Amino acid sequence: MMNRKRLVALLVASTGALVLQGCGSMPQTAEEFRKAAPGAMLGKTDTYEVNRAYREVSATFQRKAPECLNMAVRTVSQTSTSYQNILTEYKATVVPAGERAELHLQQLHKGGGVIYASKPPEGGMYVIVADAYPLPGNRTRMQLYGPSIGYDVVYRAIRGWAAGDNLGCPDLTKIGK
Partner 1 sequence: MVRGVAQRLVAVALVALGAGCSSLKPYPNDGPIKNVTIRTAASAGSVFSSVKVELDVHGVDASCATRYLGTLQLGQPTVAVSLPPGRGSLLTFQFLSSNFLGSSRGSIGRQVLITPRPDQRYEIDVTYRDDLYDVVVRERVRNDALREVALRDLSACR
The helix (H) or strand (E) run that includes residue 54 is helix 54-69
In sequence order, what are the residues at sequence separation of 6 or more whose Cβ sits closer than 8 angstroms to the Cβ of residue 144? 45, 46, 47, 128, 129, 130, 131, 155, 158
Phi first, then psi: what are they for 104, rounded to 5°?
-110, 135
Name the segment binding partner 1 (CB under 8 A); options: 24-32, 41-49, 113-121, 151-159.
Answer: 151-159
Query: Is 138 one of the binding residues for partner 1 (CB under 8 A)?
Result: no
For position 70 contacting partner 1 by CB under 8 A, the verdict is yes
Pairing mode, strands 101-110 and 125-135: antiparallel
Residue 139 β-bridge partners:
135
- Compare residues 20 and 172 and give the one whose CB is closer to partner 1: 172
**Contact status: 114 vs partner 1 (CB under 8 A):** no
CB 132 within 8 A of CB 38: no
**Residue with Cβ nearer partner 1 (145 or 151):** 151
Q: x-or-dash pattern for partner 1, window 28-67, by CB under 8 A?
A: --------------------------------------xx
Subset of 79-108 contacting partner 1 (CB under 8 A): 89, 91, 108
In the chain, what's the furthest Cα-to-Cα distance?
57
Q: Which residues bind partner 1 (CB under 8 A)?
A: 66-67, 70-78, 89, 91, 108, 123-124, 153, 156-157, 160, 166-174, 177
